[in-house]
Amino acid sequence: MFKKHLLIGACAFALGAGSMAYISQQAQATARPKSETYRMLEVFGNVLEMTEKQYVVEVDEKKLIEAAMEGMLSSLDPHSGYLNGEAFQDMQETTRGEYGGLGIEITSEDGVVKIVSPMDNTPADRAGLKPGDFITAVNGQSVLGMPVSEAVKQMRGKPGEAVTLSIAREKTDPFDVKLVREVIKQKVVTSRMEGDYGYVRLSSFNENATEETQAAIKELQKKNPKMKGLVFDLRRNPGGLLDQAVGVADIFLDGGEVVSQRGRDPKDIERYNAQPGDLLSGLPVVVLVDNGSASAAEIVAGALQDRKRAELVGLTSFGKGSVQSVIALPGQGDGAVKLTTARYYTPAGRSIQKTGIEPDLEVAATREQAELIANRSFQFSEASLRNSLNAEEGKVRREAHAPAEAPPLTFDEKKDFQLARAIEVLKNGSVQATPKLPAAAPKIASVAPKAAPTPKK
C-alpha cells in the first residue's frame, strides 16, 4: 500500500530545516493506460538494454533507473522528484529537529546547487553563507549537474569532519569556505525583549515549531506582564511542516481559516482552521519577512495579514505556494515519490505561487540591499527558478524598484534596521500611522548608451 505525506518546504532536499508533514492518506491511482505510454515505456526498456550492453564501461542498472525517475519528476517543477531509500530516510530525520549536517536549505537551479537559506547558529550560518549563493564544488569535487540528492551525500558525513565548499556569489570572486559538520540539534525559536516589546524569531517549521513558539511567548508574558506588543521574525525561514504552519498561526488567531489547498480538480479543496483562543489576547503583532521567507512561513504571514491580525514589515516573500505529497513506495527501501499536488491559498483566496506576499511596509535591511533590489540582482525567489509552477493567470512578481525605505546614512548598519522599523510600527499603532522615512535613492544601473562627446570648436 502506498503512503502519502504532505510536503511544503522550500526546496528539494535539505541539509537544514525539516520539510515533511506526516499525514497518512490513500494514494489515488489516476494514471490511465494509454497505448502511447506503453510504447514509450518499451522504448525506455530498449534504451536501458542498449546502454547496459554497449556503454564503454559496465553500468549500474539501479542507478540508471533511479536517475531516469528523478529526471522525469524534476522536469515537472523544482520541487518534484524521486527519493531513493537513503534520501527518504534523511528527509524523515530532518523533520525531527536533530541530525548531522551543515545547516543549509538547498535547491537545484539549472543543474547548480543553490542555497535557499542557512539555518540559525549552524556551521553554514556562522560561515556567512547567504541565500542565493551557489555551491559549485564539495571538497574540490564539482557538483555542477549533479542531482541534489548526490550533492547532499557529498556534504553529509560524520560530525567533526571538515568539509570545504566552493561558493559562487554575485558580484564576488569565487571563494572556498571550510565548515565542520555538526549534529544539528535545531532549536528553532529564540526570544528576548526589545524595550516594552517582545521579539520571537522562528527559523524553521520542524516538529517542534508550535510548541517552542508557544513556550517562548508564555515565558515573555510571564517575565513581562506589561508587554505592549510582539515582533514575530520569519525572515530567512525556508518553511517546513504544514501542520506546524497551521499550529503557529493558531497561536495568534481566535479561530477561523488559516490556509486552504486546492488540487487539479476545482472541487478538491481542503481547508485548515485555527481553534478559538488568541494566546496574546489581541496584543499588536508585526511580522518580519524577506525573500528567504518561504512556504510555511508564507502561510503564517499571509494568514495573519489577511485576517488583520498583524502587519508585515520587510521584503516580498519567496513565493513558494505549492504543496508536495511524498508517497512512500511499497517495496522495502524503494524510497518515495515527491510530487506537486496542490497550490495553497491564504484566507482571502490569494495564491502566492511565484508572486510572494508583499509587506505592508517595504523595508530594505541595508543600503546595499536597496541598491540590489533596484537593479534586479537581488530577486532570488520561486519566480527565478527555471521550471517553477506558473502563477495564477495574469499575476507576476513585482519588477525591480527602489524599496520604500532603506537605512539612512546616519543609521548604524551593524544594527537591525528592519526590526527597528517594526518596533516603530508597534509604537505608532499601525503602518499607516508610522511616520515614513524619506525614500533612499539607490543607484540604478544605467543601460543607456553614453552620449557622444561634443565636438570641439
Radius of gyration (C-alpha) of the chain in whole angstroms: 23
pLDDT score recorded for residue 98: 58
Give the model's confidence band at 109: pLDDT under 50 very low, under 70 low, under 90 confident, else very high: confident
pLDDT score recorded for residue 96: 61
Distance between CA 396 and CA 356 in Å, rounded?
9
pLDDT score recorded for residue 333: 80
pLDDT (mean) for 281-291: 97
Count of other CB atoms within 10 angstroms of residue 269: 12
Model pLDDT for residues 128-177, shown as the tens digit of each residue: 998 889 999 999 999 998 877 788 878 877 889 999 999 999 888 999 99
Model pLDDT for residues 299-335, shown as the tens digit of each residue: 999 999 999 999 999 999 999 999 888 889 988 788 8
pLDDT score recorded for residue 27: 43
Distance between CA 57 and CA 286 in Å, rounded?
60
Q: Is the pLDDT of residue 29 over 80?
A: no
Q: Is the pLDDT of residue 19 over 60?
A: no
What's the fold here for domain 100-185? Pdz3 Domain (2.30.42)
Does the CA dihedral 428-430-434-440 come out positive or negative? positive
pLDDT score recorded for residue 28: 45
Q: Is 441 helix (H, G, I), strand (E, B) or coil?
A: coil
Distance between CA 317 and CA 302 in Å, rounded?
10
pLDDT (mean) for 272-279: 97
Q: Quote the percentage of the chain above a pLDDT of 70.
A: 86
pLDDT score recorded for residue 32: 54
Residues forming CATH 3.90.226.10 domain(s) in the chain: 189-322+343-428
Q: Choose between 285 and 326: higher pLDDT.
A: 285
Indicate the DSSP class of residue 414: T
**Considering 295, 317, 381, 388, which one is annotated as catalytic?**
295
pLDDT score recorded for residue 93: 66
- Reading the block at residue 452, the C-alpha cell is 557622444
10-14, 41-45, 393-397, range with the lowest pLDDT = 10-14
**Considering 80, 117, 120, 320, which one is annotated as catalytic?**
320
Distance between CA 15 and CA 414 in Å, rounded?
28
Give the model's confidence band at 291: pLDDT under 50 very low, under 70 low, under 90 confident, else very high: very high
Nearest partner of 319 among 93, 97, 100, 78, judged by Cα:
78
Domain 189-322+343-428: assigned CATH number: 3.90.226.10
Q: Choose between 202 and 439: higher pLDDT.
A: 202
Q: Is the pLDDT of residue 35 over 70?
A: yes
* 338 tagged catalytic: no
pLDDT score recorded for residue 378: 62
- Reading the block at residue 84, the C-alpha cell is 531513493
Model pLDDT for residues 334-365, shown as the tens digit of each residue: 889 999 999 999 999 999 999 999 999 999 99
Q: Is the pLDDT of residue 24 over 80?
A: no
**Considering 149, 306, 317, 338, which one is annotated as catalytic?**
306
* 60 tagged catalytic: no
Residues forming CATH 2.30.42.10 domain(s) in the chain: 100-185
Indicate the DSSP class of residue 122: S
pLDDT (mean) for 26-44: 73
pLDDT score recorded for residue 427: 98
pLDDT score recorded for residue 20: 38
pLDDT score recorded for residue 375: 86
pLDDT (mean) for 243-258: 97
pLDDT score recorded for residue 362: 97
- Greatest C-alpha distance within the chain: 88
34-38, 137-141, 201-205, range with the lowest pLDDT = 34-38
pLDDT (mean) for 275-289: 97
68-82, 300-314, 366-380, range with the lowest pLDDT = 366-380
* 295 tagged catalytic: yes
Helical (H) or strand (E) element with 327: strand 322-328
